[in-house]
């Protein structure tokens, strides 16, 4: 009795601590801490697609461009964008590319125009009331920071300059006339240094002294060098987003997430009773932890990232469904609720861990191969997977066990698994495979048809085709109809001097999306002026992508799927100690990818920047469902021999069928609400995921099990052997075998 009371006391203390932590977490996310409101949800850093602003990718173009030249160019651009926003970022990508992100700006085209112009550096002297240019940055051969030692042994930090022949003569004349006076070094109309001339300099070399430290000397040397950089910047990609569009995207996505969350909670409570209520609490904690993690790890939240969090809610339900389905099975076998809870969590652990690890493989590929918003999606989805594992295996277990300890022990509160009739999935396997093959062939057949009728086999968006995409938002009194579309398209054709212009009306948002050949900056400025003057456009947001980027996107899409598939194959083969498990899972995954590809082909869905993210998310989600079935096959095989293989596979699919339907349904609900309420770019993303969820559920139930069986038996007919369904009630050795092994466990300045 004392033992029970002490256990109850520990769980009561644990509940109080959990509630206190949650209340504190809610306080942080709503109010924040300190003067800077640290941790407040409103302070989460937003990407440009949500905050609005300008994103540009430049390629450094020039002969004999060195790493130092590129680093100096980055420094130059950093100096120039600081005037637009203190939150601007300039960073080097790969060997010769530079990314610039400037949030919150309004006159985006002006910024693009200014950044595209080279900065000017000049050495000037006072000539009466005006300033006279002595020489320019083009006359500077080199500028280096150096450390010298003075007469007293103290270190002096200087900038050593060397001029070309023309600069040497000009500088000699200027120093002769201005001894004791300053020579002003001016970059982009700003004085960056004004050292006094101490003597006449005729040899073409001098030193600027009086630097406070080496860093100051190095920065001044960089500023002088960038005035004579032998590089040109070629615009590869630019994206201009209206801040209002970002606000609308956040509001609609949050509403969609809230409605989806509520619907999932209703479904979970209806299916699992008390555990369903606990699952909803665990999901609420998941959302709270996600918001805190976004702030804590300073994650930049993008629109696809926001979708990743909402998708993560649907996927977080998956682990709870696996666990509670197991508990219902144990209760149906007549076990007391305490034993059923313990056994249910124990048996579900391996499937949850394996399923989430394979999803994390897809996330890792997205992270390393993706850029921009795709990488943001990978970051938030990966974080969501890890948090969902914690809430399912730790928080849910604690809450369910606490409920049991406090007297919620009636089996009626936990539900009982219904016994489903055994069906011959093996027999239907070949028919299901044939049905999938028909859909895939139809999708492939549409490719040449699309090419002949519409010019391209797929509806390639900007990222895959290159060009310029503009989203035009009109005043409320403007009717977005066919007549307006023709006039707008005609205006674009006139400016672009091309007939390859496509228009798409978005009546719900009073918008129009126009895709055209790649427009240069002056053409984009002319389009914006025309739209606002002649068509009452409130805003025009543009995205420009060169053919270089689009070719890379196409290559990365194929490479990403291949890499993810290989690593999943290796992981499954190791975990299940049978390469046939891995091979059949990968074949089923390729089936899912090709069916989704067929949907893109037949439905002319837009193949855009989130295409790779969609494909890899579908792969990760589908493999999750497949692993649950394989995990059950592995468990059931411990009590039967090879002659009963067909019955084992059929029984395993039946035992996991309810779980497969429920998890697919909950995820589908979240994505469907996102599709109904999200902005246009998110709708395309959600539509593809819905197709992927459906075909993933179909392939995991109807294809993977039968395919593994056929590979195991060499496609030979095997006799049907019936075995007694008692696997759910087996503990001991079976549990130990199914359980994954635990691994055992940063002065004055002058010229001389």
Average pLDDT over residues 580-606: 87
User: What pLDDT score was predicted for residue 731?
Assistant: 37
Q: Residue with structure tokens 């080199």?
A: 142
Average pLDDT over residues 275-291: 92
Q: Do 394 and 246 share a structural domain?
A: yes
User: What pLDDT score was predicted for residue 609?
Assistant: 63
Q: Do 595 and 481 share a structural domain?
A: no
Q: Please tell me the total count of domains within the chain.
A: 4
Which has more pLDDT, 239 or 437? Answer: 437
Integer CA distances (angstroms), 7 to 131, 275, 402, in order: 84, 21, 9
Q: What is the 3-state secondary structure (H, E, C) of 66-85?
A: CHHHHHHHHHHHHHHHCCCC
Q: Do 112 and 130 share a structural domain?
A: no
Question: What mean pLDDT value characterizes the chain?
Answer: 82
User: What pLDDT score was predicted for residue 228?
Assistant: 62
User: What pLDDT score was predicted for residue 732?
Assistant: 36
Cα separation of 382 and 379, whole Å? Answer: 5
Per DSSP, what are the bridge partners of residue 54? 102, 240
Q: Do 92 and 128 share a structural domain?
A: no
| Residue 191, domain extent | 121-228
Note every long-range contact of 523-529, with CB atoms under 8 Å and residues 24 or more positions apart, other chains counting: 523/495, 523/496, 524/109, 524/112, 524/468, 524/470, 525/109, 525/113, 526/495, 527/470, 527/491, 527/492, 527/495, 528/109
Q: Do 346 and 402 share a structural domain?
A: yes
- Residue 20's CB is within 10 A of a number of other CB atoms, namely 10
Cα separation of 570 and 228, whole Å? Answer: 52
Kindly state whether residue 499 falls inside one of the protein's structural domains: yes
* Predicted TM-score (pTM) of this structure: 0.70
Tell me the per-residue pLDDT of 353-371, one tens digit each, with 9 for 90 and over.
Answer: 888 888 888 888 878 876 6
Q: Do 132 and 212 share a structural domain?
A: yes
Pick from 493, 520, 545: which residue ends a domain? 545
Kindly state whether residue 209 falls inside one of the protein's structural domains: yes
Q: Do 254 and 348 share a structural domain?
A: yes
Integer CA distances (angstroms), 86 to 34, 296, 454, in order: 22, 21, 45
Kindly state whether residue 625 falls inside one of the protein's structural domains: yes
User: What pLDDT score was predicted for residue 421?
Assistant: 75
CB 645 within 8 A of CB 713: yes
DSSP sequence for 425-441: HHHHHHHHHHHHHHHHH
User: What pLDDT score was predicted for residue 343?
Assistant: 92
Tell me the per-residue pLDDT of 30-61, one tens digit each, with 9 for 90 and over.
Answer: 988 888 888 888 888 887 777 777 888 888 87
User: What pLDDT score was predicted for residue 175?
Assistant: 93
Residue 443 pLDDT level (bands cut at 50, 70, 90): very high
CB 579 within 8 A of CB 585: no
Q: Do 265 and 197 share a structural domain?
A: no
Tell me the per-residue pLDDT of 556-586, one tens digit each, with 9 for 90 and over.
Answer: 767 877 888 888 888 888 888 888 888 888 8
Kindly state whether residue 739 falls inside one of the protein's structural domains: no
Q: Do 132 and 71 share a structural domain?
A: no
Residue 737 pLDDT level (bands cut at 50, 70, 90): very low
Scanning 511-644, the segments in alpha helix (DSSP H) are 521-534, 547-576, 579-603, 611-636
Tell me the per-residue pLDDT of 154-197, one tens digit each, with 9 for 90 and over.
Answer: 788 999 999 999 999 999 999 999 999 999 999 878 888 999 99
Average pLDDT over residues 98-115: 74
Structure tokens at 43: 């302070």
Kindly state whether residue 445 falls inside one of the protein's structural domains: no
Tell me the per-residue pLDDT of 670-712, one tens digit each, with 9 for 90 and over.
Answer: 889 988 887 776 787 788 888 888 888 899 899 999 999 999 8
Cα separation of 288 and 25, whole Å? Answer: 7
Q: Do 100 and 147 share a structural domain?
A: no
Residue 508 has pLDDT above 60, yes or no: yes
Residue 438 pLDDT level (bands cut at 50, 70, 90): very high
Integer CA distances (angstroms), 553 to 99, 358, 463, 560, 610, in order: 17, 23, 7, 10, 10
Kindly state whether residue 177 falls inside one of the protein's structural domains: yes
Cα separation of 613 and 377, whole Å? Answer: 8
Integer CA distances (angstroms), 188 to 223, 550, 611, 654, in order: 10, 34, 42, 72
Q: Do 144 and 104 share a structural domain?
A: no
Pick from 202, 228, 254: which residue ends a domain? 228
Residue 420 pLDDT level (bands cut at 50, 70, 90): low
CB 489 within 8 A of CB 471: no
User: What pLDDT score was predicted for residue 15?
Assistant: 92
Average pLDDT over residues 585-595: 88
Residue 418 has pLDDT above 60, yes or no: yes
Which has more pLDDT, 200 or 456? Answer: 200
Kindly state whether residue 237 falls inside one of the protein's structural domains: no
Q: Residue with structure tokens 């790493």?
A: 67
Pick from 519, 545, 571: which residue ends a domain? 545
Integer CA distances (angstroms), 515 to 18, 323, 483, 528, in order: 52, 48, 17, 14
Q: Do 216 and 253 share a structural domain?
A: no
CATH number at residue 145: 3.30.1360.200
User: What pLDDT score was predicted for residue 274?
Assistant: 92
Cα separation of 728 and 333, whole Å? Answer: 8
Kindly state whether residue 43 falls inside one of the protein's structural domains: no
Cα separation of 32 and 36, whole Å? Answer: 8
């Amino acid at each position: 009795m004392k033992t029970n009371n002490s256990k109850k006391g520990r769980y009561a203390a644990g509940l109080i601590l959990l509630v206190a932590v949650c209340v504190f977490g809610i306080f942080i996310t709503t109010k924040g801490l300190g003067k800077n409101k640290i941790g407040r949800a409103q302070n989460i850093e937003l990407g440009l697609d949500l905050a609005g602003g300008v994103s540009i990718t430049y390629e450094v173009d020039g002969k004999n461009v060195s790493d130092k030249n590129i680093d100096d160019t980055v420094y130059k651009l950093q100096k120039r964008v600081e005037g637009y926003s203190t939150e601007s970022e300039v960073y080097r990508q790969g060997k010769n590319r530079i990314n610039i992100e400037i949030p919150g700006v309004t006159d985006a085209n002006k910024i693009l125009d200014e950044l595209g112009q080279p900065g000017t550096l000049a050495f000037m002297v006072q000539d009466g009331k005006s300033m006279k240019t002595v020489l320019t940055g083009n006359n500077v051969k080199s500028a280096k920071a150096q450390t010298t030692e003075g007469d007293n042994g103290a270190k002096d930090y200087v900038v050593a300059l060397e001029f070309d022949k023309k600069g040497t003569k000009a500088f000699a004349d200027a120093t002769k006339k201005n001894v004791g006076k300053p020579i002003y070094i001016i970059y982009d109309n700003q004085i960056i240094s004004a050292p006094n001339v101490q003597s006449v300099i005729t040899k073409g070399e001098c030193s600027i002294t009086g630097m406070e430290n080496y860093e100051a000397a190095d920065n001044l040397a960089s500023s002088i060098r960038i005035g004579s950089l032998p590089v040109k910047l070629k615009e590869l990609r630019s994206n201009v987003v209206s801040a209002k569009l970002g606000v609308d995207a956040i509001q609609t996505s949050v509403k969609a997430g809230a409605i989806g969350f509520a619907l999932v909670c209703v479904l979970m409570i209806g299916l699992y009773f008390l555990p369903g209520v606990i699952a909803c609490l665990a999901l609420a904690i998941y959302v709270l932890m996600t918001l805190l993690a976004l702030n804590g790890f300073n994650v930049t939240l993008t629109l696809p990232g926001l979708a990743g969090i909402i998708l993560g809610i649907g996927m977080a339900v998956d682990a709870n469904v696996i666990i509670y389905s197991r508990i219902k099975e144990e209760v149906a076998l007549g076990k007391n609720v305490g034993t059923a809870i313990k056994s249910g969590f124990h048996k579900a652990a391996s499937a949850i861990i394996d399923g989430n690890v394979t999803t994390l493989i897809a996330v890792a590929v997205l992270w390393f191969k993706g850029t921009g918003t795709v990488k943001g999606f990978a970051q938030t989805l990966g974080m969501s997977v890890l948090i969902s594992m914690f809430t399912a295996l730790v928080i849910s277990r604690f809450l369910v066990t606490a409920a049991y300890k406090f007297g919620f022990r009636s089996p009626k509160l936990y539900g009982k698994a219904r016994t489903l009739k055994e069906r011959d999935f093996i027999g239907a396997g070949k028919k299901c495979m044939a049905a999938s093959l028909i859909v895939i062939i139809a999708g492939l057949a549409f490719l040449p048809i699309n090419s002949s009728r519409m010019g391209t086999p797929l509806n390639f968006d900007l990222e895959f085709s290159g060009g310029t995409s503009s989203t035009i938002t009109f005043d409320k009194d403007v009717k977005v109809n066919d007549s307006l579309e023709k006039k707008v398209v005609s205006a674009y054709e006139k400016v672009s001097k091309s007939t390859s212009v496509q228009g798409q009306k978005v009546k719900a948002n009073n918008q129009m999306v126009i895709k055209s050949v790649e427009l240069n900056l002056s053409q984009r400025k002319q389009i914006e002026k025309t739209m606002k003057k002649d068509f009452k456009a409130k805003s025009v947001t543009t995205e420009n992508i060169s053919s270089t980027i689009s070719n890379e996107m196409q290559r990365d899409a194929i490479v990403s799927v291949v890499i993810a598939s290989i690593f999943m194959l290796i992981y499954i083969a190791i975990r299940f100690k049978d390469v046939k498990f891995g091979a059949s899972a990968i074949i089923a995954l390729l089936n899912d990818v090709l069916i989704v590809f067929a949907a893109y082909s037949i439905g002319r869905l837009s193949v855009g920047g989130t295409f790779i993210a969609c494909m890899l998310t579908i792969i990760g989600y589908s493999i999750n469902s497949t692993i649950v079935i394989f995990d059950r096959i592995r468990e059931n095989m411990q009590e039967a021999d090879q002659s009963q293989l067909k019955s084992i596979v059929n029984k395993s699919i039946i035992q996991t069928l309810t779980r497969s339907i429920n998890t697919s349904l909950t995820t589908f609900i979240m994505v469907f609400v996102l599709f109904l309420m999200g902005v246009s770019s998110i709708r395309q993303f959600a539509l593809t995921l819905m197709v992927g969820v459906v075909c993933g559920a179909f392939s995991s139930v109807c294809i993977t099990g039968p395919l593994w069986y056929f590979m195991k038996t060499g496609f030979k007919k095997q006799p049907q052997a019936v075995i007694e369904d008692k696997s759910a009630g087996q503990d001991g050795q079976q549990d130990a075998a199914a359980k994954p092994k635990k691994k055992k466990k940063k002065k004055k300045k002058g010229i001389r």
